Amino acid sequence: MTTLTEVYGEPISIYTLQNALDDGILIKVGKLTNSNIPIIFTSNLFNEVKNNYKKIITQGLKLLNKKNKEDDDCYKLRVIEKNRIWVISNNEGVTFMKPEDY
């Protein structure tokens, strides 16, 4: 199997999850129960919903547990509130964001 590096060469730059956390672009608010999977908010969304972010987490996790034909083993996206709040689950964690933060 051909890797992306074999096709495109070495990346010029890599911006990791930890870089985004360190820079304040993303905010880690916890982790999923019985795992090390982080729960993350974009700072843009968190600043708007910080008084009820736990309710948003509950809504998002319920939606992620429902099957969707577009899901794969590595990526799920759900709309919690149209044009306002999305949640994405991938190999980095569970991230809550505004659509414009994507």
Above 90 in pLDDT, residue 12? yes
> Which one, of 96, 93, 95, lies nearest residue 38 by Cα?
93
Range of the domain at 9: 4-101
> Which one, of 102, 54, 48, 51, lies nearest residue 78 by Cα?
102
pLDDT tens, position by position, 69-92: 889 888 999 999 999 999 999 999
Q: Which pLDDT score, from 0 to 100, does residue 59 have?
A: 97
Q: How many domains does the chain have?
A: 1
Count other C-beta atoms under 10 Å from residue 76's C-beta: 19
What's the pTM?
0.88
Q: Which pLDDT score, from 0 to 100, does residue 4 have?
A: 84
pLDDT tens, position by position, 13-67: 999 999 999 999 999 999 998 899 999 999 999 999 999 999 999 999 999 999 9
